[in-house]
Chain A
Amino acid sequence: MSLNLDFSFLTSEVIKANIVAGFEYSLQLTLVAMVGGIFIGTLVALMRLSSKPWLQRIAQVYVDTLRSIPLLMVILWFYLLIPSAFYAAIAGEYGLNHRPEFSAVITFTIFEAAYYSEIMRAGIQSVPRGQVHAGYAVGMTYAQCMKLVVLPQAFRNMLPVLLTQTIVLFQDTSLVYAIGAYDWLKGFQTVGQIYNRPNEILLVAGLCYFVVSFSLSMLVRRLQNRIQIIR
């Protein structure tokens, strides 16, 4: 054992200047990808369960393709393929200067949609068929039946699973490392470089990620218990 750990460089100014900025981005990335991913994922799940074979096929190819490729590879692909004109169009000069950050948001939304769609599919399938029949029987259209009867129940049944997937997503945001986006991990590493304390900062980073993920998973567990009692 020969490790001299020195954490004195971690002052509140340092944390504010570098680490908080990175955390904010990681959080934004997680939230946007969660909301967008669940929205697209639900649409894909509905396509997968539709009666039209061509819609099923498209949804299946979408999900299977993204689920067979490592997220890192997908991040690299999107970064390569999205043209600069796109960044300029959505955020002008700012977009062009923050290409990795914007690219990651698009990537994670589309990538996570594949995973969320499988969860939503299971959720929709867990709703008893009688509910759909009842909806049609009172004169609802397909869209009304889905929106008012099936999806709210599916969403509620699957809420713990959707949130658990979101915790995984939060941890996976660290992979934007590959394209150099300024996320939480990058924030830590920047500080580590400035003060030449790469080992200490990695331990701190591990601890911080642990605290956030662990607290969130505890919350999800409590939520799960509450939902179980109500049902």
Chain B
Amino acid sequence: MTDWITRSAEVMCKSTADDTIYKTCLAGHGDTTYLQWLFSAWGWTLLVALIGLVIALIFGVVIGVMRTLPSKPAAVFGEAWTEFFRNIPLLVQLLIWYHVIPEIFPSLKAIPEVVLACLGLGFFTSARIAQQVKAGINTIPKGQRHAGLATGMTLTQTYRYVLLPVALRIVLPTLTSESMNIIKNSSVAYAIGVTELVYFSTQAGEETSMHGTMYLAATILYFISALAINRAAAFVENRTRLPGAIGGAK
């Protein structure tokens, strides 16, 4: 066991190019150690998850709102969007983004796989967020929508000033779990060659034959990420609590 720990520490400080072992675990001059690679992989994981989350939030809220609009075509489009992205496995979606979409639109061939991963992950998650936004809007009593329209607000104004401020706060806790999910789901991006944590752990495990060490390192970073998101979300939830609701601010 102690032997395994020593070897693990040693391999983390080893260069990815040759057998040099750096005392500080940090290589310079164009070389990297496995530790540096690990952290850069963590960065990719967080980046893909974060950009994916932004895309998912934008599309999720728009589609969720569309599904509650009086306009039939908008509702049908929203419904179709949700079912489409929810019922195909994320892995298959990403493979289609990576292999098929650039074939259809050759101008997209130059786009790096990270961008495609963000789009794929974002659209996949947007379907789930749309579902929750729709449910959030529907929990608001119908009278509020009618009251808004009756006071002469346009439909847009009713959504902007009456429905969405409440609905978005209602769905916030579910968005927390969605942000934790997106970190976990970003691991699927490894299949299209994004050098995130799972890609790192399999690749580095292969190169060094120290699979356990690399898996453990990646797993610990996933734990830390999940914990950090959890804390951050608790903070946001606390700041945006709805006065008067159960568990809300006074």
Contacts and interface: CB of A to CB of B under 8 A. Distances in A.
B198 A70 contact: yes
A53 interface: no
B86 to A, nearest CB: 8
Interface in B183-241: 183-188, 190-191, 197-198, 201-202, 211-212, 215, 218-219, 222-223, 226-227
A72 interface: yes
Closest 6 CB pairs of A and B: A213-B87, A70-B187, A171-B89, A70-B184, A174-B89, A68-B226
A77 B89 contact: no
Contacts of A73: 187, 197-198, 201, 215, 218-219, 222
Instruction: Say whether chain A's binding surface is mostly helix, strand, loop, or mixed.
Output: helix
B110 to A, nearest CB: 15
Interface residues of A, number: 30
Interface string A162-187: 00000000011011011000000100
Interface residues of B, number: 40
Interface stretch (B11-19, B90-98, B161-169, B242-250): B90-98
A177 B91 contact: yes
A206 B83 CA distance: 13
Interface in A1-25: 1-3
Nearest to A200: B100
B91 A175 contact: yes
B10 interface: no
Interface in B72-90: 83-84, 86-90
Nearest to B202: A76
A202 B99 contact: yes
Interface stretch (B23-31, B34-42, B54-62, B101-109): B101-109
Given A68-B222, A70-B222, A77-B219, A199 B187 contact: no
Contact of B219 (A3, A69, A175, A198): A69
A38 to B, nearest CB: 21
B103 A199 contact: yes
A209 interface: yes
A73 B103 CA distance: 31
A82 to B, nearest CB: 13
Nearest to A71: B184
Interface string A201-223: 01101100110011001000000
Given A72-B188, A213-B87, A202 B219 contact: no
8 contacts: A73-B215, A76-B201, A80-B212, A175-B91, A178-B190, A202-B100, A203-B100, A209-B87
A117 B86 CA distance: 23
B87 A214 contact: yes
Contacts of A217: 83, 86-87
A82 B46 CA distance: 30
A76 B198 contact: yes
A205 B88 CA distance: 9
Nearest to B106: A2
Given A174-B89, A203-B100, A72 B223 contact: no
B100 to A, nearest CB: 5
Given A70-B187, A73-B222, A1 B104 contact: yes
Nearest to A192: B99
Contacts of B103: 2-3, 199
A203 B87 contact: no
Nearest to A211: B87
A72 B215 contact: no
Contacts of B83: 214, 217
A198 B103 CA distance: 11
A205 B100 CA distance: 12
Nearest to B87: A213
Given A80-B211, A80-B215, A206 B88 contact: yes
Given A76-B215, A174-B89, 11 more contacts: A2-B103, A2-B104, A68-B226, A69-B222, A70-B183, A174-B91, A185-B92, A202-B92, A209-B88, A209-B89, A213-B87
Q: Which of B187, B191, B222 has the most CB of A within 10 A?
A: B187
Q: Which residue, of B83, B90, B180, B188, has the highest number of chain A Cβ atoms within 10 A?
A: B188
A73 B217 CA distance: 11
Contact of B188 (A76, A175, A209): A175
A9 B88 CA distance: 23
